[in-house]
Structure 1
Amino acid sequence: MKNLDNLARAILQGNDKGAYTIPTSGLYPYQWNWDSVLAAWGFATFDIDRAWTELETLFQSQWASGMVPHIIFHEDDPGYFPGPQVWGTGQTPPTSGISQPPVAATIAAKVWGMDPDAGRERIAKLFPKMLAWHRWYHEVRCMHGPATITHPWESGRDNCPDWDIGMAGVDGSKVAPYERRDTGHVDPEMRPKKEEYDKYVAILEFGRDVGWDDRKIMEEGPFLMADPAMTFILLRADKDLLAMAEKLGEDTAEIQGWIDDLTAAVPSLWNDDLGSYDASDIRSGAWANNISSGAFLYTYAGIDNPAMDKRTLDAWDAVTYGIPSADPKAERFDPQRYWRGPSWPFMNGLIAIGLQDAGRDLLAERLRRETAELIRKGGFYEYFDPTNGSPCGGSDFTWTAAVWLAWAGRT
């Protein structure tokens, strides 16, 4: 355990660029939103000042609208596509034009809890920025009730089967010529397919062509889907932001209103035929008809649902290691291709937080134990095959190291 602790710290420090952390060299050479926040969780176990700096750097690139982008291009790296020139957001430093799941308030609350006195001044400065980000989410992305995404990348679960129905209507045939870089770093069989990537670029180009206008993207964009994971992550973050506001003596009425509205929207995510929370295409109203790890975050949001408890265990018991990112019994399940089946240590960690909060300590411990076994056997990889534990994706991965230090490696 001690050797793995040391290796995890070394990975965080090796991916540390001074004030921000990259997920891993080569494959992801910039600062990614939720990767960065999870890095702060890991840093807090041995360098809490560095943890606060990570969060502060992320919010320095917050847009005037309140949105916090999913990529911040601090330095140019021609080895990554799509880079800042492709996004064309006009921000300084350059950023992408979409966001990512807002885990920041939840992790910031955990970091603050590790040293409440020393962290009070820093959390007080971050609070209004987190509040503005949540306000953007509720006013822009929750217009239809649950939280929506306008690009699969915004979900953080890029090629999850949840998005297949929305992607089917995206025309990727007219995108400008491009050269992918991700498949030069890892096995192409573990990455999204070219047809999917063409459509990702087409959605990006629409956003760029309308000047990243939130209203036009929501009303006219080629992709708009309700996302259970985004809804549950935002709802949990709202609750943590509310607790933070109470401790800081801030007004809580607005946040409580968001919590009430989003809680009321949760039943709209329930697919009766599937017997699970499910993504849906906002414009057509069609269900994705897919059970994914995003749906298993309901306890993380404080939602009690016995039927979902059974669904979670059915998917979990069908594999050997951790929570699969897609239903192992479904035809679309692919145990080594990105979000179409693999088990992700950080996602296991978030689900375990929900299980523990719900008083399901034995299940939370089982998930921790299985995740720890993946890392002990395979190393600090991006994700893993849940059927046999094979390591997949990028190596020396920041959020896997962080999750080991903050959760998986702790008994």
Structure 2
Amino acid sequence: MKDILDASALDVEARRILEMNDRGGYSVPTAGLYPYQWNWDSAFAALGYAMFDLARGWKELEVLMAGQWDDGMVPHIQFHKVDPSYFPGPDIWGGVGPVPSSGISQPPIAATMARLIYELDPEAGATPMRALYPSFVAWHRWFMDWRLDSGAVCLTHPWEAGRDNAPDWDGSLARIDPVGIDPYERRDTGHVDPSMRPRKSDYDRYLWLVKQGHDCGWDQARLLEINPFRMADPTMHFTLLRAHRDLAWLGRELGLDTASLPDWIAQLEAGAETLWNAALGAYDVRDTASGAWAQAVSNAAFLCWYACVDPKDSLATYARVQAPVRFGVASHDPESPAFEPKRYWRGPSWAMMNMLIAMGFDEAGLPEGAALRDSTARLIAENGFAEYFDPLTGAPAGGRDFTWTAAVWLAWCSPNVGRGRWAR
């Protein structure tokens, strides 16, 4: 980090990006490609804002949670203002919440980000956190009620994990025949090089799953019966387990009801065992219908430290996967034939995933955390605030002027702003 490019200029640029993507209480990930509010993007944005404006950080979380459905689910997209540049929009989803929305959720990191923001100023954070706490509990309960298989947290759509086109889903998606979807025109490939985006065959299946949910009114009991895509996933599992722990801490800190949380934590601690693929040497995705492993080492596998569960042999696997990687953590094993260094979740390095993984390393007292932070800082300093990056060359990919990359810089990478302020 000593020879990093001008960190002060990068701090200014990161703040400019956050303010540019601010839509008055909520953020978009980047203009054009993603013109709405995304769930876990907003959680990272909140932490980024808190580095220079605590009230704005809390506001981001408040607007996110205001879109919560009656059943407790917090959708992965909220369509505050209709924008024809994005597909699929609210008419395709048919969400049933207070704001036009999608019908699925995303990795529940908001409670963890809320804790980090709270710890910056507990006195200022007590009032907004007390108000948010019941909504977080209800969201976490929704996962526990509807998304467990043998104690492991499941997803019902690839977009729900945030890792849209990861090779982890290939085998299960291939069994879906996407009949009955209407003709459609993608908009994402008009903003970004198609070689960096999911393929049409993936999109057909994504839309078939959306149609299935739309047609049953997003009835979770009905979806449990009919949805052929139900994957026990380390991303969802480890982020929810960590969020349970952080929510319990916040509840104790503020004297609030934490009665359900210890049991939920225990359930997920036990459920983590069902995600360990000994033959792979990593936590892996499991198809709950067939019982088959994805046989894919993803960056989500290394969130085990972040969730404070037994990493087993994960450190050896991490060292192997990282051997050819120069920047961050590859989202898919570079030794795999499915590895594509610039195609979305099939190989690229993502700054925000690097941060979560490094948080776990730091808390476990492992030097890999500091090394990963320095690698990510160099990646951003040399290649800008892209959505994601080629892990071998550092080349920027996907969208530019990206909110969560700017937030990660301010909260974690910058030697002037957030670095070290919230590490525990």
Structure 2 counterpart of 1:397: 402
Structure 1 counterpart of 2:176: 170
Alignment-mate amino acid for residue 94 of structure 1: P
Give the Cα separation in 2 of the matches to 1:157 and 1:140: 20
Structure 1 counterpart of 2:422: none
Equivalent of 2:21, from 6, 15, 38? 15
Q: CA deviation at 1:222?
A: 2.7
Change (3 A) 1:278 1:143: closer
Q: TM-score, normalised by structure 1?
A: 0.98
Q: CA deviation at 1:93?
A: 2.0
Structure 2 counterpart of 1:383: 388
Alignment-mate amino acid for residue 213 of structure 1: D
Contact 2:37 2:77 (C-alpha < 8 Å) held by counterparts:
yes
Q: Number of matched residues?
A: 410
Deviations 1:60-85 (A, max 9, x none): 00000000000000001001000001
* Residues 1:62 and 2:52 are matched in the alignment: no
Contact 1:170 1:203 (C-alpha < 8 Å) held by counterparts:
no
Q: CA deviation at 1:143?
A: 4.4
**What root-mean-square deviation, in Å, do the aligned CA atoms of Structure 1 and Structure 2 show?**
0.9
Give the Cα separation in 1 of the matches to 2:56 and 2:132: 15
- For 2:299, what is the secondary structure of its paired residue? coil
* Residues 1:272 and 2:278 are matched in the alignment: yes
Q: CA deviation at 1:251?
A: 2.7
Contact 1:165 1:281 (C-alpha < 8 Å) held by counterparts:
no
Structure 2 counterpart of 1:186: 192
- For 1:50, what is the secondary structure of its paired residue? helix
Equivalent of 1:257, from 239, 263, 271? 263
Contact 2:306 2:356 (C-alpha < 8 Å) held by counterparts:
yes
Contact 1:384 1:392 (C-alpha < 8 Å) held by counterparts:
yes
Give the Cα separation in 2 of the matches to 1:74 and 1:354: 34
Give the Cα separation in 1 of the matches to 2:245 and 2:199: 37
Q: CA deviation at 1:318?
A: 2.1
- For 1:99, what is the secondary structure of its paired residue? coil
Structure 2 counterpart of 1:367: 372
- For 1:347, what is the secondary structure of its paired residue? helix
Structure 1 counterpart of 2:244: 238
Equivalent of 1:294, from 289, 300, 321? 300
Give the Cα separation in 1 of the matches to 2:50 and 2:322: 30
* Residues 1:117 and 2:126 are matched in the alignment: no
Equivalent of 1:146, from 152, 156, 159? 152
Q: TM-score, normalised by structure 2?
A: 0.95
Give the Cα separation in 1 of the matches to 2:311 and 2:99: 43
Structure 2 counterpart of 1:225: 231
Change (3 A) 1:233 1:190: same
Structure 1 counterpart of 2:331: 325
Equivalent of 2:137, from 131, 135, 138? 131
Q: CA deviation at 1:211?
A: 0.7
Contact 1:68 1:99 (C-alpha < 8 Å) held by counterparts:
yes
Alignment-mate amino acid for residue 90 of structure 2: P
Structure 1 counterpart of 2:316: 310
Alignment-mate amino acid for residue 176 of structure 1: D
Structure 2 gap ranges (5+): 1-6, 420-424
- For 2:334, what is the secondary structure of its paired residue? coil
Q: CA deviation at 1:304?
A: 2.7
- For 2:371, what is the secondary structure of its paired residue? helix
Change (3 A) 1:395 1:181: same
Give the Cα separation in 2 of the matches to 1:46 and 1:7: 13
Deviations 1:39-72 (A, max 9, x none): 0010000001000000000000000000000000
Structure 2 counterpart of 1:343: 349
Give the Cα separation in 2 of the matches to 1:320 and 1:305: 23
Alignment-mate amino acid for residue 188 of structure 2: D
Q: CA deviation at 1:91?
A: 3.3
Equivalent of 2:88, from 52, 59, 82? 82
Alignment-mate amino acid for residue 70 of structure 1: H
Q: CA deviation at 1:306?
A: 4.0
Alignment-mate amino acid for residue 344 of structure 2: Y
Q: CA deviation at 1:316?
A: 1.5
Contact 2:282 2:317 (C-alpha < 8 Å) held by counterparts:
yes
Give the Cα separation in 1 of the matches to 2:403 and 2:10: 14
Give the Cα separation in 1 of the matches to 2:254 and 2:308: 23
- For 2:272, what is the secondary structure of its paired residue? helix
Contact 1:172 1:195 (C-alpha < 8 Å) held by counterparts:
no
Structure 1 gap ranges (5+): none
